[in-house]
Amino acid sequence: MSDKIIIFDTTLRDGEQCPGASMNLREKMEVARQLARLNVDVIEAGFPVISDGDFRAVNQIATEVRGPIIAGLARCVPGDIDAAAAAVKPAGDRARVHVFLATSKIHLEHKLRKAQEEIIRLAVEGVRRARALVRDVEFSPEDGSRTVPEFLAEITRAVIEAGATTVNIPDTVGYAVPDQFGELIRYLFDHVPNIHDAVVSVHCHNDLGLAVANSLAAVRAGARQVEGTINGIGERAGNAALEEVVMALRTRPEVFGHVTTDVNTREIVKSSRLISRMSGLLVPRSKAIVGENAFAHSSGIHQDGILKKRETYEIMDPHEVGWGETELPLTKHSGRHAMVKRLEHLGYTLNQEETEHVFRRFKEVGDRKKFVYDDDLAALIEDSSLGAPETYELEYFHVTSGTTTVPTATVRLRHNTLAPADGKDTPTETMQDSAPGNGAVDAAMKAIDRILGHQGHLAEYHVQAVTGGKDALGEVTLKVDFGDGKLITGKGASTDVIEASARAYLHAVSRVLVTGAAAVASKPTDTP
Ligand code: KIV
Ligand code: ZN
């Protein structure tokens, strides 16, 4: 049995299914490029049949991202399988189709209303169809952990015989506990005669907070692929946090049989931050490995111990996971070239128009704060609707607020549309309006609503300092419901939190107006 654990990242598929975490094409591309730098083995880039936006994203990732295998998810039906195969095709011999079909009694009786024999027939047909299109086919018996073990063994044998190269056992509803889940994997090794013809994988959800523990128990039982997401994002309580799985395997090799991964652990923190920004899901401060406090020792006894010998209180070297890798900051005197170099280092590739836009914002911020750090730059990028055919920019805003006045905001927006092909100047238009509100932030949002003719309901609002110091950029992340129940994320950054809020709101409105289709794509009702 191989010593290598294949790391399968589903941040862009299962992670993106988390309400309010939808990403547009550009955001997905940035995430995929970073996952490639992190050197995961497989990127599950999406569910191609779900929408044109999903298909395009998987297809573009398969075309442009080098290194990892690119997988597309498919239900066990011909249309899904064909769409997934077509989307991942540009990845060539790194293309994978991931087919799933539920196998537990409860799903068979109440969701699919099919007998076990029918399920095996459909699974075999689905795998064969996928194998006719790509060499690399993964099969997942959905709700595997709640499936009768004898039936699970039977379907596993059948799909391997039909050509599945990976069989993935999902704990779809996060019901498993480590000992029992490890036993289930052992059972499959003991009862499926052709089990060694495929890689055994696991995919654990975190409803009981056991996704990582269950994944690790499965590795001890022989699983050689682990699926999960960065920061553990995903539906409900999320998926196994890959950074935790990877660091547990690395920190306790004697427990896990000295298995290895190819993950470039120094890229972990950078990946976590990028994904937090792109998904709008903040990382809790005390989250293992990537939370702000993960390596912060506040007690005097701990600090003393660390100074004498790091290992007294630290089981991992923070540098090993990418903490403390921030480079020399830029200042308002830094030029365009220096800024572009930093952005490239951070994984952003901008065209000329986008560079100009971000450079303008960089200079504005540089005027207000002494140093512009990597995270500041990333925050500036995130609140711009880069790559969109038209954008709304905050040109001017003014608020009056206080204990004895009605808070009122005046906002002026610039509407930019794509430069016409004839090379004439980019058309722009400015629009201005004022509105009173419950507070300064509310008034600014209402003024934007009046200008753009939208009415958003603020469902979530977070503000946090991007970097330290009194002149720190405040980054606002908010989620807005525009009346259809879907939560749209907006991000904005500024040294002034009211301005950052206005920018974040404008970002969310722009996503609905301009890139809404990709950002709010809905999924079929029977998705996992
Ligand atoms: O949780 C689940 O069962 C899934 C499958 C598609 C693997 O996400
Ligand atoms: Zn899942």
Domain CATH number, residue 260: 3.20.20.70
**Three-class SS state of 209:** coil
Q: What is the Å distance from ligand 1's center to 10 Cα?
A: 10
Predicted local distance difference test score (pLDDT) of residue 128: 98
Residues 6 or more apart whose CB falls under 8 angstroms from that of 225 comprise 5, 6, 7, 8, 41, 42, 166, 168, 199, 200, 201, 202
3-state SS assignment for residue 436: strand
Taking the C-alpha atoms of residue 125 and residue 77, their distance in angstroms, rounded to an integer, is 9
pLDDT at 522 over 50: no
CB 63 within 8 A of CB 55: no
**pLDDT value at residue 466:** 75
What's the mean per-residue pLDDT of the chain?
Answer: 89
451 to each of 349, 430, 432, how far by Cα in Å?
32, 10, 7
Of 6-10, 13-17, 508-512, the range with the lowest mean pLDDT is 508-512
Residue 77 belongs to some domain of the structure? yes
Instruction: Give the ligand 1 atom nearest the CA of 239.
Output: 1
Q: What is the pLDDT of residues 158-195, one digit of tens each?
A: 999 999 999 999 999 999 999 999 999 999 999 999 99
Looking from the CA of residue 235, the nearest atom of ligand 1 is 1
Q: How far is the CA of 229 from the centre of ligand 2 (A)?
A: 10
Q: Is the pLDDT of residue 528 over 90?
A: no
Residues 423 and 371 grouped into a single domain? no
pLDDT at 516: 47
How far does residue 102's CA lie from ligand 1's centre (Å)? Answer: 9
Same domain flag for 346 and 269: no
Q: Which atom of ligand 1 is nearest to the CA of 168?
A: 7
pLDDT at position 508: 85
Q: Name, in order, each residue with C-beta under 8 angstroms of 98's C-beta and a sequence gap of 6 or more.
A: 44, 71, 72, 73, 74, 84, 137, 138, 139, 140, 168
Residue 215 to residues 174, 187, 218, 228, 250, Cα–Cα distance (Å): 11, 16, 5, 9, 14
In this structure, what are the phi and psi dihedrals at residue 519, rounded to the nearest 5 degrees? -75, -25
Question: Two tokens at 378?
Answer: 């990333």
Residues in Cβ contact with 55 at an 8 Å cutoff, skipping those fewer than 6 apart: 46, 48, 49, 83, 86, 87
Q: Which ligand is nearest to the CA of 238?
A: 2
Q: Is 238 a domain residue?
A: yes
Ligand 1 atom showing the smallest separation from residue 98 Cα: 6
Cβ neighbors of 463 (< 8 A, separation 6 or more) are 474, 475, 476, 477, 497, 500, 501
Question: 99-124: per-residue pLDDT in tens?
Answer: 999 999 999 898 888 899 999 999 99
For a substitution probing ligand 1, which of 75, 138, 140 has the most ligand atoms within 8 Å of its CB? 140
> Rg of the Cα trace of the chain?
24
The answer to whether 111 and 142 have CB atoms below 8 angstroms apart is no
Return the residue whose CA atom lies nearest to atom 2 of ligand 1.
172
Q: Are 389 and 416 in contact (CB under 8 A)?
A: no
Tens digits of residue pLDDT in 252-278: 999 999 999 999 999 999 999 889 988
Atom of ligand 1 nearest to the CA of 205: 1
Q: Give the ligand whose atoms come closest to the C-alpha of residue 107.
A: 1
Q: Please tell me whether residues 376 and 431 are part of one structural domain.
A: no
Tell me if 157 is assigned to some domain: yes
329: left (phi over 0), alpha (psi -120 to 50) or beta: beta
Residue 120 falls inside a structural domain: yes
- pLDDT level of residue 21 (50, 70, 90 thresholds): confident
Which residues approach ligand 1 with their CB closer than 6 A? 14, 100, 140, 142, 168, 170, 172, 203, 205, 528
372 and 435 within one domain:
no
**Which amino acid does the sequence have at 460?**
E
Q: Are residues 101 and 201 in the same domain?
A: yes
The answer as to whether 287 is a domain residue is: no
Pocket-testing residue among 44, 47, 50, 100, ligand 1, by greatest number of atoms within 8 A of Cβ: 100
Query: Which atom, in ligand 1's list, is nearest to the CA of 170?
Result: 3
Q: What does the pLDDT read at residue 419?
A: 54
Span 304-357, pLDDT tens digits: 777 777 788 789 999 999 987 555 678 888 888 888 888 887 777 788 888 888
Are 316 and 172 members of one domain? no
Ligand closest to Cα of 143 equals 1
- CB distance 216 to 240 below 8 Å: no
Q: pLDDT band for position 426 (50/70/90)?
A: low
CA of 301 to the centre of ligand 2 (A): 42
- How far is residue 42's CA from residue 225's CA, in Å, rounded to a whole number? 10
Q: In what order do the strands lie in the sheet with 428-436?
A: 390-400, 408-417, 428-436
Where does the pLDDT of residue 520 fall: very low under 50, low under 70, confident under 90, or very high at 90 and above?
Answer: very low
Domain assignment present for residue 200? The answer is yes
Say if residue 270 is in the same domain as residue 412.
no
Q: Which of 252, 278, 250, 253 is nearest to 266 (CA)?
A: 250
Distance 94 CA to ligand 2 centre (A): 22
**CA distance readout (Å), 14 to 72, 205, 395, 460:** 11, 10, 37, 22
Instruction: Report the distance separating Cα 343 and Cα 386, nearest Å.
Output: 14
239: CA distance to ligand 2 center in Å? 7
462 pLDDT exceeds 80?
Answer: yes
Task: State the distance from the centre of ligand 2 to the C-alpha of 105, rounded, in angstroms.
Answer: 18
String of b and e for 224-244 (b: at least 16 CB within 10 Å)?
bbbbbbbbbbbbeebbbbbbb
Residue 400 β-bridge partners: 408
Cα–Cα dist 204/141, whole Å: 13
**Domain membership of residue 72 as a residue range:** 6-279
Cα separations in angstroms, 55 against 28, 241, 342, 428: 12, 25, 31, 32
485 and 513 share one domain: yes
| pLDDT tens-digit map of 204-256 | 999 999 999 999 999 999 999 999 999 999 989 999 999 999 999 999 999 99
* In-domain check, residue 399: yes
- C-alpha distance from residue 41 to each of 71, 100, 224, 258, 267 (Å): 11, 20, 12, 19, 14
Residue 253 CB coordination number (10 Å): 12
Q: What is the CATH number of the domain that holds 499?
A: 3.30.160.270
Q: State whether 63 and 122 are in the same domain.
A: yes
Q: Give the Å distance between the CA of 166 and the centre of ligand 2.
A: 16
Looking at the CA of 47, name the nearest ligand: 1
Ligand nearest to the CA of 202: 1
| Nearest ligand 1 atom, CA 203 | 7
Is 526 a member of any domain? Answer: no
295 φ/ψ sector (left φ>0, alpha ψ -120 to 50, else beta): alpha
Mean pLDDT across 375-381: 81
User: Ligand 1: distance of its center to the CA of 342 in Å?
Assistant: 37
Ligand 1 atom with the smallest distance to the CA of 227 is 7
Question: Distance, CA 73 to ligand 1 centroid (Å)?
Answer: 9
Shared domain check, 461 and 315: no
Mutate to test the pocket of ligand 1, among 42, 81, 142, 166 (most ligand atoms within 8 A of CB): 142
Other CB atoms closer than 10 Å to residue 412's CB: what's the count? 16
Statement to judge: residues 28 and 169 lie in one domain: yes
pLDDT in tens, 288-299: 999 988 887 666
Span from the CA of 107 to the centroid of ligand 2 (angstroms): 15
Rounded distance from Cα 350 to ligand 1 centre (Å): 34
Ligand nearest to the CA of 228: 2
What's the number of domains the chain is made of? 4
Atom of ligand 1 nearest to the CA of 527: 6
pLDDT above 50 (res 521)? no
How would you classify residue 363: left for phi > 0, otherwise alpha for psi between -120 and 50, otherwise beta? alpha
Residue owning the nearest CA to atom 3 of ligand 1: 172
Distance CA 450, CA 443 (A): 11
Helix (H) or strand (E) holding 202: strand 199-204
Answer yes or no: do 257 and 298 share one domain: no
Spatial contact of 53 and 47, defined as CB atoms under 8 Å apart: no
Residue 454 to residue 439: CA distance in whole angstroms: 19
